[in-house]
């Protein structure tokens, strides 16, 4: 075999990955952007319509509801999963409990289950023959109780949010636990010797030490929240009515049911812009917080 030059070896190693990546991820992003200004009828592109797809989407009450539902998912992720994840990680890290490995094993288990299975399982739990319903019947003594509250406009998102909290908190727990183990134990011991309270340790030592990880986790949580599809699709498919619609579902509807690729692409672009905006916002908050600690 003739020896490749250094430069040729470099590209032989790099390009296979790079070409697949560009073809499947970067190129389609630009194509999405272009498509978002086009009109489609019966599987055919019929013309360039400027920003009309965007104005139609933003004027659509279903889309606005979807966006609000995505924001709720984001809030439960950033303000629910992450703080709970920190708390659980800290409790496990301090080794106050026996069998911490068992707890870790059990709490992390949902991460290995597919969202479709989780969605269908929790639907059963809230169904008339589910654990939750049976439990409420036993407590209240009302044998005919069925869960109706989640059919209302106001509370329809609650089951989805609860399941998301259950499904992903453990991911952050495990991430924070791995990073807590990098903080030298002597720091905790010194603080305890000085008579510091546990809450002081959490707020003055743990959170500042983890601030980088908290920031990256928030970024992941935001981009994850804006893409949620599987769980919502399998659990409610956006219903009842359209109370639990999310942006990805709206996108799916336009691209794959109506074959309106222009509108579908415009939704993609809105999701990307929203994601970039929210992440910059978190970056700003993070920079402010860091200034305060220094």
Extract the tokens encoding 143. Answer: 């044998």
Beta strands 44-48 and 38-41, pairing class? antiparallel
Cα–Cα distance list, 140 to 38, 145, 224 (Å): 57, 9, 38
Query: Of 58-66, 140-148, 189-197, 286-294, which part binds another protein (CB under 8 A)?
Result: 189-197
Q: Cα 253 to chain center, whole Å?
A: 21
Q: Which is nearer to another protein, 56 or 230 (CB)?
A: 230
Least distance CB 282 / another protein (angstroms): 12
Is the bond into 240 cis (omega within 30 degrees of 0)?
Answer: yes
| Binding flag, residue 134, another protein (CB under 8 A) | yes
Query: Of 47-55, 60-68, 141-149, 246-254, which part binds another protein (CB under 8 A)?
Result: 246-254
Residues in the chain: 294
Contacts of residue 110, defined as CB under 8 A and 6 or more positions apart, other chains included, come to: 118, 166, 167, 170
Question: Given candidates 54, 145, 166, 286, which one binds another protein under the rule CB under 8 A?
Answer: 166
Beta bridge pairs of residue 45: 40
Euclidean distance between CA atoms 202 and 284, whole angstroms: 23
First CA to last CA distance, the chain: 58
| Binding flag, residue 13, another protein (CB under 8 A) | yes
Least distance CB 141 / another protein (angstroms): 16
Please list every residue from 202 through 221 that binds another protein, using CB under 8 A.
212-213, 216-217, 219-220
| # of chain residues touching another protein (CB under 8 A) | 106
Please list every residue from 216 through 245 that binds another protein, using CB under 8 A.
216-217, 219-220, 223-224, 226-227, 229-230, 233-237
Please list every residue from 249 through 268 that binds another protein, using CB under 8 A.
251-252, 255-256, 261, 264-265, 267-268
Query: Of 53-61, 147-155, 271-279, 283-291, which part binds another protein (CB under 8 A)?
Result: 271-279
Token look-up 């073809």 returns: 23
Contacts of residue 111, defined as CB under 8 A and 6 or more positions apart, other chains included, come to: 167, 168, 170, 171, 174
Least distance CB 211 / another protein (angstroms): 11
Token look-up 């994601």 returns: 275
At 49 the three-state DSSP class reads coil
Please list every residue from 49 through 108 that binds another protein, using CB under 8 A.
87-88, 91-92, 94, 96-97, 102-108
Give the torsion sign (CA, 256, 258, 262, 265).
negative
Q: Which is nearer to another protein, 3 or 186 (CB)?
A: 3
Least distance CB 61 / another protein (angstroms): 21
Least distance CB 59 / another protein (angstroms): 21
Q: Please check whether residue 110 is in contact with residue 261, taking contact to mean a CB–CB distance below 8 angstroms.
A: no
Q: Which is nearer to another protein, 62 or 272 (CB)?
A: 272
């Amino acid at each position: 075999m003739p020896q490749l030059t250094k430069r040729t070896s470099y590209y032989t190693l790099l390009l296979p990955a790079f070409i697949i990546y560009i073809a499947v991820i970067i190129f389609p992003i630009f194509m999405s952007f272009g498509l978002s200004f086009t009109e489609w009828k019966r599987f055919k592109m019929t013309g360039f319509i400027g920003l009309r797809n965007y104005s139609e989407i933003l004027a659509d009450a279903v889309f606005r509801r979807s966006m609000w539902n995505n924001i709720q998912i984001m809030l439960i992720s950033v303000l629910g999963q992450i703080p709970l994840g920190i708390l659980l990680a800290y409790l496990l890290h301090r080794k106050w409990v026996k069998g911490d490995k068992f707890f870790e094993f059990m709490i992390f288990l949902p991460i290995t289950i597919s969202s479709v299975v989780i969605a269908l399982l929790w639907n059963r739990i809230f169904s008339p023959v589910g654990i939750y319903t049976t439990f409420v019947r036993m407590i209240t003594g009302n044998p005919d109780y069925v869960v109706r509250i989640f059919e209302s406009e106001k509370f329809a998102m609650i089951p989805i949010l609860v399941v998301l909290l259950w499904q992903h908190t453990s991911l952050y727990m495990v991430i924070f636990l791995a990073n807590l183990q990098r903080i030298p134990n002597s720091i905790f011991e010194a603080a305890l010797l000085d008579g510091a309270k546990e809450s002081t340790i959490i707020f003055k030592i743990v959170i500042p030490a983890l601030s980088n990880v908290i920031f990256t986790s928030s970024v992941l949580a935001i981009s994850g929240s804006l893409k949620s599809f599987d769980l919502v699709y399998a659990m409610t498919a956006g219903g009842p009515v359209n109370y639990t619609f999310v942006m990805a579902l709206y996108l799916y509807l336009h691209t794959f049911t109506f074959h309106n690729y222009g509108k579908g692409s415009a939704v993609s672009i809105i999701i990307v812009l929203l994601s970039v905006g929210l992440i910059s916002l978190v970056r700003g908050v993070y920079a402010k917080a860091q200034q305060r600690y220094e």
